[in-house]
Structure 1
């Protein structure tokens, strides 16, 4: 579930040991006129990990733990909790340190899911995230990505199948944390915290909650829709419609109505992908709850930076309006969950009039 990380350590002794570490071949940019280091940095790369030694003594390590586990080649397979623990152990040994001495400054977490539907079709169906239009990018002809940059994090959805020329339909959904305050409630602060399965569970919860922020619309045949349903659907399929709604209650009202129509006449694509994401999180975090052996040199004095959170029940994130109490029109019996809370009739005038005459 964990992919990219940015790690730091400000211990001058650590930087000195790394300069003498035979695993790394550091190089510097040289000023051709003076022969001196141009920026005071020394850099080394190994299996997708980049290690930078700054003149101040700070050490920064960046890269994908998932790719490192695959010798830097790819990150489209399953990266389970067991593999994550093994990888963190190898990285710690390689750097000659312990995970608790490496503070986290960025972390990317997400899942790869398999679905019968082509990922490109699902990407086309995503209208916005929290009413914000996506930034669309391509992978040099190998598929495309939709992302939304928020204040402290970035949401990404992209086609893994085309990126790596895979046979299976692989969709990637992930969150890249740009400021660790976004993970304050999960208490993830060091690389050691990524060994705590309960904290990884907290990231899984956050991933599922983030998915709920997407508004997804399927291309539907409107012939069977009522006139009010057709109007709601056509409005909602226009990305600019959501941009023009500035009132929070208005947005919530129209989103509920739009999703009601899509759910009624669509294939259930949004619910299906959401279920796969939650199931994949649970699958990747299956474990015996045994933390690394403290006798292992790689994890000597390993500690986490808090008590963590309880292991979640991901089934709670699969609940939709199907599991909520139903509200129906008192006259015709049609579902009216999409209407305001105090509504007792649907939008058809003929339903209200007979009831009022009784």
Structure 2
């Protein structure tokens, strides 16, 4: 379930990594002046660092002596190639053991700064249909994103975390991978440590001790927080008045309009009505998807 992480390594001398033959460090310098790069493309100040990569993980040694690693542990397990397959507890243990063997990095040394927890499933209907019908998460609308590494996906950004939903099969098929089934990924990206600290998670070892399966409720709850319009709803079985209302329900602008006009109670009422209609007159895709998630995590 772990994917992207960003960690700070404590009690590890930079010289150990610098001397490692698996890491080829380079500096970012101005080729004209020979000066170290101190600002990024947006003009913001950055601390100069030496950089190296291995199997999808980026190693940084800052001039201050701080060591940071960022990247996907899931991709690391696949030699940096992909993260569309299953990454279970045994695979996580292998990766952590490999980091110890190759780089002398222990999980208790790894202070978490960012973490992605997610699950890949075979959905009950085509993934793109599910993405198109995920309208809001809580009260925020989903937006399509496109990234050269992550492909096309939907996300909602909250203060402490981001919800992402991907069509993993489509993304990696476009890269030449032979994938036979639909693959949907649902993911929580913790951008601050608040929620993790509440669980007693500060380091990578704390995360392992807590148990990845204990994120099951978090994943399922956040999926249920998705305002989902079920396109299997049998509209023809409804009265003309309800049909008109259901058509409105399928439009994310209807919901954001209620929220923008501060009609919170109206929003809650109509969301409840949508749930009732979905339960009675559809194949209950969101519920089916939750059950697949539940079984997959178990």
The TM-score normalised by the length of structure 2 is: 0.87
Question: What's the CA shift for 1:227?
Answer: 4.3
Gaps of 5+ in 2: 39-47, 174-178
Conservation of the 8 A alpha-carbon contact between 2:124 and 2:285:
no
Deviation at 1:44, TM superposition (A): 0.5
Q: Does 1:172 align with 2:171?
A: no
- 1:152 lines up with 2:165 in the alignment: no
1:171, distance to aligned residue in structure 2 (A): 0.6
Partner of 1:264: 280
Do structure 1's residue 87 and structure 2's residue 95 form an aligned pair? yes
Corresponding residue of 1:213: 225
Pick the aligned partner of 1:244 from 247, 252, 257: 257
| Deviations 1:137-167 (CA, angstroms, capped at 9, x unpaired) | 2466x97311001111110011111011122
* Structure 1 unaligned residues grouped into runs of 5+: 283-358
The structure that is strand-richer by fraction is 2
Return the offset for 1:204: 2.2
* CA-atom RMSD in angstroms: 2.0
Number of equivalences: 279
Distance 1:57 1:139, change over 3 A: closer
The answer for the alignment partner of 1:223 in structure 2 is 236
| Counterpart-to-counterpart distance in 1, 2:151 and 2:281 | 28
| Pick aligned residue for 2:121 from 77, 98, 113 | 113
Contact 1:52 1:61 in 2 (8 A): yes
1:182 Cα deviation from its structure 2 partner: 2.6
Describe the superposition over 1:286-332 as per-residue Cα deviations: whole angstroms up to 9, x where unpaired.
xxxxxxxxxxxxxxxxxxxxxxxxxxxxxxxxxxxxxxxxxxxxxxx
Q: C-alpha distance in 2, partners of 1:143/1:54?
A: 30
Aligned-pair CA distance for 1:75: 0.7
Q: Is the 8 A contact 1:4 1:64 kept in 2?
A: yes
Matches within 5 A, 1:128-143: 128-138=136-146
Tell me, in whole angstroms, the C-alpha distance in 1 between the residues paired with 2:171 and 2:99. Answer: 26
Equivalent residue number for residue 297 of structure 2:
281
TM-superposed CA distance for 1:228, in Å, is 4.9
Equivalent in 120, 124, 133 of residue 125 of structure 1: 133
